[in-house]
Structure formats: structure tokens, C-alpha cells
């Protein structure tokens, strides 16, 4: 639980009064003259996210006004924890949905990665009956988990450490845990995962968590866990490699999503699969032009060693399909092309079920975690079919890269199995509620959709 959000237990908390922006003038007209003077002095207006502090006669903080929109957007509250003076605060509202939005916004805005450097403290939100806001709190907790995992440097979050973190999450939530490591990947037919990860001194592995009742519908969550990506023998330039600790962001997202599902006890059976590798450079690293026979039996020509994410996902998607789940969802920091198409804050979502795209976008808007539907445009498949293998891990032209990557993954999803692919950035360049660094983009949206689809 976030230490910046606690149960109200007679804490001397300052009241925060939300004002809807379109009611601002009406609100102002009803205030006493000293408040009107403060509004004028500090140019407090109807800008969403702004706030005004009111002092008592002893110059102690007495009250806070903040401006919000009408949609109960958590981001309207996200600046408060780091902009308000240190202390305890309470949202002055009987609207549980609004309080939940404030909890999420406070959690998003108060986050700081403090593993290696002490961070400045910030204001604390107190909440009456916090038990009534469990989903909001688990959204905050899962987002923190995702951010912490991504922000941790590769030397402390390689395949070995990612496995340890996954095992800890499994233990905390009464899930079973197992992993297939190193040469055992070849023995148990996960050749593509082994191919990409074999050059690292931290052995590649397939991580698996299982949770839930056998009678509940099975959902498989598959995450790309490339804990550092040099680009392999097609080495990345320095500026592109700088933040490649984030290339395990897909794994972080499925762990965060799984934690939400387990802690909120959704009526599903969960299988989490993470292909954890480091795409390193060494004498035994895979090469451009190599051909690997995947778990599915399809041969893949390596068009570029920096298109490794889809390779490690191929075996995991095949394995997931063998259980004939009712749904497969994969998260991956897969392509720069997705960022070119939609920017840093809007991950594309692909699905082999057309109805899913509309549903998911609607669910993402409800929780202010935007996703945008993209097509599995089948004519582009010819761009990933080479002359000497079944598939190639890069397209023959540089255009439409996030689509050809999704089409590649689709080849490894079992026939008639509903599948969703999210090409997330896993990173924020800095905006309200999203400090620069690792970030959860699409996780809350997918939880909202899954919880609705499976009857929670």
C-alpha cells in the first residue's frame, strides 16, 4: 500500500474541497470576501488541476480548494501530493467514485523511485473507510509495482532478478510458480527464447505463475521480459540503448495486471507467462540471417537481431495456446513504430476479435488509461514472409512496423483463441501523474475490460 495514502484514524487532516471547473464562477460568487481576495491575489481560476491554500488567523493551513473536471479523472488530483505543504489531507466529498479517483490520482502523483536515492517526502492523503476503495488502492499498488520494476537498472533486474520478483508476487498471492532456465529451454522446446537470451551470463528463462479455481475461465497473460536490449549484433546506438532497462516493461505490466486480478479476486483462472532474457552481445549471440525453428514448428529467419521481442514471445504464445484459454493478452515494449504512429502516451491495441477493439477502447476511456485500436491488416503479412523460411522477424519495408510485428505474433496464437496484443511504451517522458521513467500504460484499461468481460 502506498505510504502516501492511509486510513483516516483521527489524523489532523486538512480538508480539500473539489470545485468543478464549470461551476467555478458560481462557487466564487458564494464565497466570503477574504476568499475572493485570495482568489484575486493568487490568480486562482477554473484551470483544472489548480489549487488554492487558505490559512487561518494563526497562519496555519486551514483549507484547500482544488479545481477538477466533471469526469472524475484521477489526473485532476495528481499534482496535489507534491505541490501541497507536507501534512495530512482529506477529500471533502461523500461521492465514493470521486474519492476513488482522488486516491488513484494521489497515488500516481506521489510516486517516486527511491531505491537508490532518497526522495523528497510529499503530502499524505487520508481516507475514511479505505476498504471501500480497494480497486483504487490496488490500481495504485500495481502501478507502483510496474514502475519500480521498469525503473530498476538491468544489473539489478536481469532475468534472474525478474524471476525472483515474480516468485515473490506468486507467494504473496497464493499462486504457484515455476520456471524453465537455460539449456532446459532447449530440452523442453522453447528454442526462440533460448536463442535470444543465450549470450547473457544471466540465463534466459520462461517464468510461469498459475492462480485461481480450475472451474473458472482460463486467461493467459504473456509478457516480454527483455531485461536489457543491446540490439544484439545489430547493436543499438547509444541514445537508443540508454533506457533499454525498460524493455522488460511487458513483463512488468502482466505482473501488475495479475496482481490486480489476484488481489481483487476476479472469477478467472490465471496463467502468467514471461519470457525473461537479456539480448546481449557475445560470441554465441544470434546473428542476422540465422534461422530458428520455434516451438510451434514454424521457421523464422532473423532479419534483425534487434527485433528480439517478438521472437521470445513466439514460444510463450505457442505455449499459452496449448492450454486452449478463453483469452490470451500479451504486453510488450515491442516497436518504435508504435511510438512513431501514436506517440509515447497512447499504446496501440490489436485483436483477432473485432468486437474487442471497440470494447477495450471504451474501457480504457472509463479509467483514463487510453489505448487506440490498430488493424491486423493481412495484406502486410507478405512483408514478413522470406524466401528461405516460414517467417522473418522484420518486415521487408520500414513502414507499418507495429502492424507487421503484430501479424508476426498472430502466427503463434492458436486457431480460434481470442487474443489481444498491446504494444506499450512502458515509459513516461513526464506529465501530470506520470513522472519521467517507467510507467504502466494500458494495464488499468485491460483490468477494467477483463473484469467486465468475465463478470466481476
Instruction: List pLDDT tens digits, range 35-44.
Output: 999 999 999 9
Domain boundaries, the chain: 5-128, 139-453
Q: Assign 38 to helix, strand or coil.
A: helix
**Other beta carbons within 10 Å of 355:** 9
Q: If you compute the radius of gyration of the chain from its CA atoms, what whole number of angstroms results?
A: 24
Domain 139-453: homologous superfamily in CATH: Zn peptidases (3.40.630.10)
- Give the global pTM: 0.96
**Other beta carbons within 10 Å of 81:** 26
What is residue 325's DSSP assignment?
-
Name the percent of the chain lying above pLDDT 90.
96
pLDDT lower than 70: segments of the chain: 1-2, 456
Rounded distance, CA 183 to CA 392, Å? 24
- Helix (H), strand (E) at residue 453: helix 443-453
pLDDT for 2 equals 57
Select which of 202, 224, 310, 453 is catalytic. 310
CA angle 195, 282, 424 (to 5 degrees): 55
**Residue pair 432/79 in contact by the 8 Å Cβ criterion:** yes
Each residue's pLDDT tens digit, 151-194? 999 999 999 999 999 999 999 999 999 999 999 999 999 999 99
Name the percent of the chain lying above pLDDT 70.
99
Query: 198 catalytic, yes or no?
Result: no
The three cell numbers locating residue 68: 477538477
pLDDT for 8 equals 86
CA nearest 86: which of 4, 2, 144, 19? 4
pLDDT for 343 equals 96
What is residue 76's DSSP assignment?
G
Select which of 82, 236, 263, 381 is catalytic. 236
pLDDT for 10 equals 82
pLDDT for 456 equals 58
- Helix (H), strand (E) at residue 373: strand 372-373
pLDDT for 1 equals 42
- Helix (H), strand (E) at residue 280: none
3-state helix, strand, coil in the chain (%, to 5): 40, 20, 40
Contacts for 64 with CB less than 8 Å, ≥ 6 apart: 14, 15, 16, 17, 51, 52, 53, 54, 80, 84, 89
Query: 213 catalytic, yes or no?
Result: no
pLDDT for 209 equals 98
Each residue's pLDDT tens digit, 372-384? 999 999 999 999 9
Average pLDDT of every residue of the chain: 96
Q: Assign 298 to helix, strand or coil.
A: coil
Q: Which CATH number describes the domain made up of 5-128?
A: 3.40.220.10
Torsion-angle region of 20 (φ positive above 0: left; ψ -120 to 50: alpha; else: beta): beta
Amino acid at each position: 500500500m502506498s505510504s502516501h495514502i492511509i486510513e483516516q484514524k483521527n489524523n489532523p487532516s486538512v480538508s480539500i474541497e473539489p470545485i468543478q471547473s464549470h461551476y467555478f464562477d458560481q462557487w466564487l460568487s458564494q464565497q466570503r470576501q477574504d476568499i475572493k481576495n485570495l482568489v484575486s491575489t493568487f490568480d486562482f481560476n477554473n484551470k483544472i488541476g489548480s489549487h488554492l491554500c487558505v490559512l487561518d488567523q494563526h497562519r496555519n493551513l486551514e483549507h484547500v480548494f482544488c479545481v477538477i473536471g466533471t469526469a472524475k479523472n484521477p489526473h485532476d488530483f495528481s499534482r496535489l501530493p507534491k505541490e501541497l505543504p507536507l501534512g495530512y489531507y482529506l477529500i471533502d466529498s461523500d461521492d465514493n467514485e470521486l474519492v476513488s479517483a482522488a486516491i488513484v490520482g494521489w497515488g500516481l502523483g506521489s510516486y517516486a523511485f527511491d531505491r537508490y536515492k532518497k526522495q523528497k517526502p510529499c503530502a499524505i492523503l487520508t481516507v475514511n473507510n479505505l476498504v471501500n476503495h480497494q480497486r483504487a488502492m490496488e490500481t495504485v499498488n500495481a502501478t507502483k509495482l510496474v514502475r519500480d520494476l521498469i525503473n530498476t537498472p538491468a544489473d539489478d533486474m536481469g532475468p534472474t532478478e525478474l524471476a525472483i520478483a515474480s516468485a515473490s508476487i506468486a507467494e504473496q498471492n497464493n499462486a504457484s510458480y515455476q520456471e524453465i532456465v537455460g539449456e532446459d529451454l532447449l530440452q523442453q522446446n522453447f528454442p526462440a527464447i533460448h536463442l535470444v537470451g543465450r549470450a547473457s551470463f544471466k540465463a534466459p528463462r520462461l517464468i510461469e505463475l498459475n492462480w485461481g479455481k480450475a472451474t473458472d475461465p482460463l486467461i493467459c497473460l504473456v509478457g516480454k521480459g527483455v531485461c536489457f536490449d543491446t540490439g544484439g549484433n545489430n547493436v543499438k546506438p547509444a541514445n537508443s540503448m540508454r533506457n533499454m532497462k525498460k524493455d522488460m516493461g511487458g513483463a512488468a505490466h502482466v505482473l501488475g495486471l495479475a496482481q490486480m486480478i489476484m488481489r481483487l479476486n476476479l472469477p478467472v483462472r490465471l496463467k502468467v507467462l514471461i519470457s525473461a532474457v537479456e539480448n546481449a552481445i557475445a560470441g554465441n549471440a544470434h546473428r542476422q540471417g540465422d534461422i530458428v525453428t520455434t516451438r510451434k514448428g514454424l521457421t523464422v529467419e532473423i532479419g534483425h537481431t534487434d527485433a528480439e521481442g517478438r521472437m521470445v514471445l513466439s514460444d510463450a504464445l505457442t505455449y499459452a495456446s496449448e492450454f486452449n484459454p478463453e483469452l490470451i493478452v500479451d504486453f510488450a515494449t515491442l516497436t518504435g513504430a508504435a511510438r512513431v504512429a501514436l506517440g509515447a502516451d497512447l499504446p496501440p491495441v490489436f485483436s483477432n476479435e473485432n468486437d474487442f477493439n471497440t470494447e477495450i477502447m471504451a474501457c480504457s476511456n472509463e479509467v483514463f488509461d487510453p489505448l487506440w485500436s490498430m488493424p491486423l491488416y493481412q495484406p502486410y503479412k507478405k512483408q514478413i514472409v522470406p524466401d528461405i523460411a516460414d517467417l522473418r522477424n522484420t518486415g521487408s519495408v520500414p513502414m507499418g512496423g507495429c502492424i507487421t510485428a503484430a501479424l508476426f505474433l498472430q502466427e503463434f496464437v492458436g486457431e480460434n483463441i481470442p487474443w489481444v496484443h498491446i504494444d506499450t511504451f512502458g515509459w513516461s517522458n513526464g506529465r501530470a501523474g506520470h513522472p519521467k521513467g517507467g510507467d504502466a500504460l494500458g494495464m488499468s484499461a485491460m483490468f477494467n475490460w477483463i473484469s467486465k468481460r468475465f463478470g466481476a
